[in-house]
Amino acid sequence: MKTPEGMFVAAVLILASVAVRPGASPEDSPAHPGVAHPQADADERGRLLALGRKLFVARCSRCHGERGEKPLSTGLPLSQRKLMPEHLAQSVKGRLQDSTEEQRQAVQLYIESFLNQESRERTSN
C-alpha cells in the first residue's frame, strides 16, 4: 500500500528529474513548454502575418487574389484547397526561392490564416 510520504517522495523525485536535466532551461519545463512570454509570441506572430501578407500581395496576389480567393485554371482557389502544412511549405519554398527562410515562413503563415478561415466559415454554415 502506498503511503502519503512515499507518494510525496516519488513526486519530488519525478519533478527533480525533469527540472535538473543537463542543459535544460526553465522554459523547457512542463509549466513553460518552450515559451517564456506568450505575449512576445503573439507579437511575433502578428509581425510575421503582416510580413507574409505584404509579400503575398506583392508576389502572389496577381494570380491568387489578396486572400487566395481567385480561381485558377488548375482548379479551386487557394483559399478552398485542403493543403497539408508540409505541402504548403514545399510550394512556398519553390515559388519564393529567392526569399529568406523567415519570409517564406511568413508567407506560409499568412496563407494558413486564410485557409483556416475558409475552413471555419464552411463548417459554421
The CATH number of residue 120's host domain is 1.10.760
Which helix (DSSP H) or strand (DSSP E) does residue 91 occupy? helix 85-95
What pLDDT band is residue 39 in, cutting at 50, 70 and 90? confident
Give domain status of residue 78, yes or no.
yes
**Which pLDDT does position 2 carry in this prediction?**
54
Helix or strand or coil: residue 78? helix
**Which pLDDT does position 116 carry in this prediction?**
63
Name every residue whose Cβ is closer than 8 Å to that of residue 1 and which is 6 or more positions away in sequence: none
Contact 115, 83 (CB under 8 A): yes
**Which pLDDT does position 37 carry in this prediction?**
56
Give domain status of residue 109, yes or no.
yes
**Total count of domains within the chain:** 1
Give domain status of residue 108, yes or no.
yes
* Domain residue limits at 93: 38-124
Give domain status of residue 77, yes or no.
yes
Give the whole-angstrom CA distance, residue 35 versus residue 52. 22
| pTM of the predicted model over 0.85 | no
